[in-house]
Amino acid sequence: MKVLYFTATGNSLYVAKSFGGETYSIPRLLKEGHFHFEDEKIGIVFPVFHNSVPKLVEEFLDKVTIRSKYIFGIATYGMYSGAATRTLIEIGKRNGFDFSYINEIVMVDNYLPGFEMKKQQGGEAKKLIEEHLSQIVNEVGIDRKYIRKHSAATELIRYLNLKLYDKEFEKNFTVDASCNGCKTCERVCPVDNIKVNKQPDFQSNCQHCLACIQNCPQKAIHLKNEKSTERFVNSNITLREIIDANK
Ligand SMILES: Cc1cc2nc3c(=O)[nH]c(=O)nc-3n(C[C@H](O)[C@H](O)[C@H](O)COP(=O)(O)O)c2cc1C
């Protein structure tokens, strides 16, 4: 089994690893130009962004060819997944992927403009992540056919959310005096959008993933309107793994 994933704070990597197959990072595949996969089973695991599929994942799926009898897609999300699975189905259709299984799993919501990270982590137990995850892993294990569908009304929400893909998102970032120039932000950015000289300099291709902010050891990077000074990274995943995934 091969599982292709995108992660900023580890939730999707944790899910991807749970299947026990070989894992491949989508940002790295894009950088390396690796666009052909064949296996008995192939999975795509990604976080929901703005009620949809992250642009970077869509860009990858528009380029890749996948040969497999069983293709599955899993969206990790925190609060409301909106049109994410509908969008995945649509991307699959236009690229000739016949998904056998699409599902989603609610985890900690890492969206700083919306949530306080401590409260999110306090509510983790209620989300029954392990139970849901082991059910999904079992279902994929027995080749279950299932497509999680959402109503067409979510399309409107997706449309409105597209506006959130502000081209100048990086202008919402500030860096405080605790920054020691360690370059972790540069290393965890999936699209090499950050260059650290003494402090991070944000270029104009930000994907909004918040990996730079959430993984900063000094908590020195801030987002305008953030609801949290605390930061979140999935406790099962190390910083090294996130750097390896996105460098
Ligand atoms: C830019 C951005 C947009 C997000 N949009 C949504 C959303 O629309 N709905 C939702 O439930 N969670 C949303 N989230 C939360 C993530 O989907 C969720 O925390 C995910 O599990 C993070 O995965 P990761 O740790 O692999 O990066 C968003 C997060 C970010 C950074």
What b/e sequence results for 196-211 when a residue is b if at least 16 CB atoms lie within 10 Å of its CB, and e otherwise? Answer: beeebebeeebbbbbb
Task: Assign 71 a pLDDT band (cuts: 50, 70, 90).
Answer: very high
> What span, in angstroms and rounded, lies between the C-alpha atoms of 154 and 86?
9
- pLDDT surpassing 70 at residue 197: yes
Three-state DSSP at 86 gives helix
Q: Is 79 in the pocket of ligand 1 (CB under 6 A)?
A: yes
Is 8 in the same domain as 109? yes
- pLDDT surpassing 90 at residue 103: yes
What residue owns the CA closest to ligand 1's atom 18?
77
Q: What is the pLDDT of residue 41?
A: 98
Mean pLDDT confidence for 18-26:
98
Cα of 14 vs centre of ligand 1, distance in Å, is: 14
Task: Assign 64 a pLDDT band (cuts: 50, 70, 90).
Answer: very high
Domain range enclosing 236: 169-246
Cα of 49 vs centre of ligand 1, distance in Å, is: 5
CATH code of the domain in which 113 resides: 3.40.50.360
Is 112 in the same domain as 29? yes
Mean pLDDT confidence for 87-100:
95
Q: Is 193 in the pocket of ligand 1 (CB under 6 A)?
A: no
For residue 70, the 8-state DSSP code is: E
Cα of 171 vs centre of ligand 1, distance in Å, is: 20
Q: Is 11 in the pocket of ligand 1 (CB under 6 A)?
A: yes
Domain boundary among 162, 180, 212: 162
CA distances from 26 to 12, 111, 136, 244 (A): 11, 21, 21, 12
> What span, in angstroms and rounded, lies between the C-alpha atoms of 240 and 115?
25
Q: What is the pLDDT of residue 164?
A: 67
CATH code of the domain in which 179 resides: 3.30.70.20
- pLDDT surpassing 70 at residue 169: yes
Q: Is 85 in the pocket of ligand 1 (CB under 6 A)?
A: no
Mean pLDDT confidence for 226-232:
96
- pLDDT surpassing 70 at residue 165: no
Task: Assign 170 a pLDDT band (cuts: 50, 70, 90).
Answer: confident
Mean pLDDT confidence for 62-76:
97
Mean pLDDT confidence for 179-186:
98
Is 70 in the same domain as 187? no
Mean pLDDT of the chain: 95
Q: Is 169 in the pocket of ligand 1 (CB under 6 A)?
A: no
Mean pLDDT confidence for 179-203:
97
Is 179 in the same domain as 133? no
- Output the pTM of the full model: 0.96
Q: Is 51 in the pocket of ligand 1 (CB under 6 A)?
A: yes
Name the percent of the chain lying above pLDDT 90: 89
pLDDT for 113-164, tens place per residue?
999 999 999 999 889 999 999 999 999 999 999 999 888 888 888 777 777 6
| DSSP-assigned letters across all residues of 153-208 | THHHHHHHHHTT--TTGGGGEEE-TT-----HHHHH-TT--EEESSSEEE-S---S
Q: Is 111 in the pocket of ligand 1 (CB under 6 A)?
A: yes
> What span, in angstroms and rounded, lies between the C-alpha atoms of 5 and 146?
20
Is 25 in the same domain as 136? yes
Atom index in ligand 1 nearest the CA of residue 108 equals 19
Mean pLDDT confidence for 2-31:
98
